[in-house]
């Protein structure tokens, strides 16, 4: 029932993982009397959590725990999820076997997807990221305008994939924008939206809420998914239909890769690519696209993104 969760019968192992603060911690609390509900919750979140080594995953069996100790942890009606990061409790919520629970989990730990020993994407032709790097370097060197640079980068990526014989049906950007003239920081996500920027492909969703879809998840979880100075860990989605709350701008999209764009600790937006086939992206795509972001993002002036957009 809990194949991808470490089963514990007291809080000590979870507390140790929380205190280590080296990775997010997800704890699912359950008991024998709610085993059927818990089994459904575990199955519903398998696509989000199974096969991950970037998150500590626990099933806390409270049958043998003191009831007061469980209540002191802030645990509500079972089954119940708690998510911790950097030593702090981010959120606790009733666990149900629907998209609402999975969306809350993704909001805090992002998407990694199950990682089988053999990834079907490994058989894909390689994109020449050295050549792509050279093209982006040529067209962004000496240019600071964010529209000019992101437009050229989106086009360069599109043609690099086409040259490699790798079909993609969308390549482009969404930007983190405030929704009113009232002062807000890029981290106040309830006051901001992801707004469509330059792209290649069919017309796309104009605005996306943070925490919504793959793009929203990539942007909102960037604090957890920053890795060794890179622009961010990519959310690589082998099958978009497995992703809770996926936003279908183009019904043809079957897989997706999204990289958060970070500069000086600020989320500027995301780089998003869609593919009309499942398993359309490789880990080396995440690495190669990360290099592209690291090249042109520091060269670009992003202050215009602080201007508010109009909302209805």
Instruction: Report d(CA 261, CA 175) in Å as an integer.
Output: 9
Cα torsion for 207, 209, 152, 145, to the nearest 10°?
90
pLDDT computed for residue 291 by the predictor: 96
Domain boundaries, given as residue ranges, for the chain:
6-109, 124-306
Average pLDDT of the segment spanning 22-34: 94
pTM assigned to the model:
0.61
pLDDT confidence of residue 108: 77
Domains 6-109 and 124-306 share a fold: no
Q: Which two tokens stand for residue 66?
A: 């003191």
Contacts of 303 (CB under 8 A, 6+ apart): none
Q: Do 234 and 258 form a contact (C-beta atoms < 8 A)?
A: yes
Residue 143 burial (CB count, 10 A):
14
pLDDT of residue 71: 93
What three-state secondary structure class fits 309?
coil
Distance from C-alpha of 267 to C-alpha of 35, rounded to nearest angstrom: 40
124-306: CATH topology is Beta-Lactamase (3.30.450)
Instruction: Mention every residue, 6+ apart, whose C-beta is less than 8 A from residue 235.
Output: 110, 111, 112, 214, 217, 218, 225, 256, 257, 258, 259
Pairing of strands 6-8, 56-61: parallel
Which CATH code of 3.40.30.10, 3.40.109.10, 1.10.1040.10, 3.20.20.70 fits the domain covering 6-109? 3.40.30.10
Q: What is the mean pLDDT of residues 258-275?
A: 88
The strand pairing partners of 200, in sequence order, are 171
pLDDT category of residue 226 using cuts at 50, 70 and 90: very low
Mean pLDDT across the chain: 82
What average pLDDT does range 212-226 have in this prediction?
Answer: 45
């Amino acid at each position: 029932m809990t194949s991808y969760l470490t089963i514990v019968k007291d809080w000590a192992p979870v507390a140790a993982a929380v205190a280590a603060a080296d990775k997010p911690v997800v704890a699912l609390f359950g008991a024998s009397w709610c085993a059927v509900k818990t089994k459904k919750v575990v199955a519903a979140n398998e696509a989000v959590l199974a096969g991950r080594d970037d998150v500590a995953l626990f099933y806390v069996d409270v049958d043998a725990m003191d009831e007061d100790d469980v209540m002191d942890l802030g645990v509500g009606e079972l089954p119940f999820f708690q998510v911790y990061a950097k030593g702090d409790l981010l959120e606790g919520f009733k666990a149900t076997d629907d998209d609402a629970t999975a969306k809350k989990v993704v909001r805090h730990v992002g998407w990694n997807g199950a990682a089988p020993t053999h990834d079907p994407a490994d058989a894909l032709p390689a994109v020449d990221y050295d050549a792509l790097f050279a093209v982006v370097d040529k067209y962004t060197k000496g240019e600071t305008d964010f529209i000019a640079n992101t437009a050229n980068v989106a086009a360069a990526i599109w043609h690099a994939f086409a040259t490699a014989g790798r079909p993609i049906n969308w390549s482009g950007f969404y930007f983190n924008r405030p929704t009113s003239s009232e002062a807000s920081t890029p981290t106040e996500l309830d006051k901001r939206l992801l707004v469509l920027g330059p792209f290649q492909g069919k017309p796309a969703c104009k605005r996306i809420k943070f925490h919504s879809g793959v793009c929203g998840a990539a942007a909102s979880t960037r604090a957890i998914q920053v890795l060794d100075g890179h622009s961010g860990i990519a959310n690589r989605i082998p099958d978009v239909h497995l992703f809770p709350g996926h936003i279908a701008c183009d019904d043809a999209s079957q897989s997706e890769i999204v990289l958060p764009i970070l500069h000086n600790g600020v989320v500027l937006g995301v780089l998003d690519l869609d593919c009309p086939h499942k398993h359309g992206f490789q880990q080396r795509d995440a690495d190669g696209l990360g290099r592209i972001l690291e090249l042109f993002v520091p060269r670009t002036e992003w202050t215009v993104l602080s201007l508010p957009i109009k909302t209805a």
